[in-house]
Amino acid sequence: MTVELNHTHDAGARSWLDAANAAGCDFPIQNLPYAVFRRTGSNELFRGGVAIGDQVLDLAALAARQELQGTALDGARACAHEVLNGFFALGPTVWQALRHALFALLKDDAAERSIAEVRECLVPLVEVEFRLPARVGDYTDFYTSIDHALNIGRLVRPDDPITPNFQWIPIAYHGRASTLGVSGQRFHRPMGQMLPPGAKAPVYGPCARLDYELELGIYIGQGNAGGEQIPLADADQHIFGLCLLNDWSARDIQFWEMAPLGPFLAKNFATTVSPWIVTLEALAPYRLPWTRPADHPQPLAYLEDPGNRAHGAFDIQLEVWLESAKARADGSGPSRLSSTSFRHQYWSIAQMVAHHTVGGCTLHGGDLFGSGTISGPGPGEAGAMIELTRAGQSPIALGNGEQRGFLEDGDAVLLRGWCEKPGAARVGFGESRGMVLPALG
């Protein structure tokens, strides 16, 4: 595992597109995240694009011109499809070649002829719609925040909040890929069984304790052969990039059905991801040492590596906002519920990948991991409403005078993420937005 900074991380680099140089822009030239898009309401084919400022660079259109050559052209052509799986499969050498070629074409010292050609391939962000950027064959959701585990555990097992295995393995369950949706997803409140407090028999009905979970999504780039383990030191070579992910959760259904197995109906009705995938290369300036407190169990050998210790963590700032139907109607805007950083996660992304394969599991390009709920150690850093409200016992106040113990119909949850520090360019993830509709049952 090696992390090297290069010219694409130069905080002083500027684009000839003025919007990419604006303060607070999520998509400067140092970012260049990928999505799959088309013009809203058109019959165009979806295809791959890269965000720059307030525009999307159409990679299918660019590949048809004469501005790219060799490996970079191979990458752009692989992006000219309705999903990016083929591009993922080409591997890190091609990923980097295309990123560097796009950086050169978008930089303020690019040739005038090239600038004119690239301008013809730009589509305003306000004019596009997105779909899932990859064909996700399998989806795995992890449980890797010790602060989240403690907060939840104290609600259900006050005397023994963390299970013995949490500090030894990156815990996960296999989720449902069929209900993954891109930002803007609208879904109906799920139906299911739940056991009311004090009852001896369950009841069937709409979920009453609907929640969100603030997570990052991890897209696998290149997979592995069946039975072939991915060593921790090589895990980064198999990760294409990260997005925002909301793992919606029906808490009352979940607590009834998770005895003795993992989540089922409580998690399979919707998962919302942001459209943009930020590459690991773009995130290189924001990597930090991965640490484990000295008095905690240290990882077994296959989950231990000097490179992971040196830069296995990511300092990604994250926020959760809630927009109620009332706030939407009166124009008062969403309320911020919490904020934290991904640097607090107990297990690293590379450890998730390595552990996933040690039993013989095959990963494919386009597979998606959820990081697990991201909660920090301080007040207001919880990544789920069940933590913020102590399972609804202490409702949280919204900015317009409303309160929430759990989510209500018409609520929209917005996840936002970015990286920012002195001496480095801001790298943003955009937004993941999903809305709760009334139950159909």
Domain ranges of the chain: 7-131, 139-437
Quick one: which H or E segment has residue 148? helix 146-156
Of how many residues is the chain composed? 441
Active-site hit among 7, 9, 81, 148: 148
pLDDT reading at 226 higher than 80: yes
Given this model, what pLDDT does residue 441 score?
Answer: 77
Q: What is the pLDDT of residue 351?
A: 98
The mean pLDDT value for 240-257 works out to 98
Half-sphere exposure of 205 (CA within 13 A, CB side): 8
Task: Give the pLDDT confidence score for residue 2 in this predicted structure.
Answer: 61
Statement: residue 415 has pLDDT above 70: yes
Average pLDDT, the chain: 97
Ranges of H-type helices in 216-292 = 251-257
Digit-coded pLDDT (tens) for 231-243: 999 999 999 999 9
Q: Which of 144-158, 210-224, 308-322 has the lowest mean pLDDT?
A: 144-158
Note the pLDDT tens digit of each residue in 321-380: 999 999 999 999 999 999 999 999 999 999 999 999 999 999 999 999 999 999 999 989
CA distance 440 to 90: 43
Active site (annotated) includes residue 148: yes
Q: Is the pTM of this model over 0.75?
A: yes
pLDDT in tens, 188-208: 999 999 999 999 999 999 999
Assigned superfamily of 139-437? Fumarylacetoacetase-like, C-terminal domain (3.90.850.10)
Tally the C-alpha atoms within 13 A of residue 117's C-alpha that lie toward its C-beta.
Answer: 16
CATH 2.30.30.230 fits 7-131, yes or no: yes
Residue 1 pLDDT > 60: no
Over residues 152-188, the pLDDT tens digits come to: 999 988 888 999 999 999 999 999 999 999 999 999 9
Contact 387, 153 (CB under 8 A): no
Sort residue 184 into left (φ over 0), alpha (ψ -120 to 50) or beta. left
82-104 pLDDT, tens digit per residue, is 999 999 999 999 999 999 999 99
Say whether pLDDT at 3 is over 80: no
Region of residue 363 (phi > 0: left; psi between -120 and 50: alpha; otherwise: beta): beta
What is each CA distance from 74 to 31, 98, 106, 216, in whole angstroms? 21, 8, 19, 29
pLDDT of residue 106: 98
CB–CB of 429/181 below 8 Å?
Answer: no
99-128 pLDDT, tens digit each: 999 999 999 999 999 999 999 999 999 999
